[in-house]
Amino acid sequence: MRAAILTTLLVVLALPAWAEPLRVGRDEAIVVPLNGAARDVVVGNPRIADVQVQGPRRLVVIGKGYGETSLTVLDGAGRVLLSQPVVVTGGEERLVSVITADKSGFKETHFSCAPRCVRVLEDQAPGTPAPK
């Protein structure tokens, strides 16, 4: 019983440490205020999201392609001001993957759905690697 209570307590205390993703629609932008002056801004996959610095304490995140990437912002001393996932969707749409199989193997097709589904171009599919 003690172990269950301890486990529950640890999970509850860890919840604030999990960053809620920033959500932005494709071809849309959101303003992100910062608690300090940004010096370095790193986007995990620039094909999914772009960031413009609008001042030392304000960023604009722009959705470029469907999927999820990371955003990290550091101050002049190298301290992390922001470290959050960024999820880009078709506005309020949801992404659906359909996997089919035949004798030649598996095929995955992606759709952005709400209220109807529209096929997502393969170069916009989640998990697509960035160009080298």
pLDDT higher than threshold 50 for residue 90: yes
CATH of region 19-89? 2.60.40.1380
pLDDT higher than threshold 80 for residue 73: yes
Locate the domains of the chain by residue range.
Answer: 19-89, 94-124
Q: Which residue has the tokens 């995955």?
A: 108
The pLDDT tens digits for 8-42 are 544 444 444 457 889 888 889 999 999 999 999 99
90: its two tokens:
């078709």
The pTM for the full model equals: 0.61
pLDDT higher than threshold 80 for residue 6: no
Query: 70: Cβ–Cβ under 8 A, 6 or more apart, which residues?
Result: 42, 43, 44, 83, 84, 85, 86
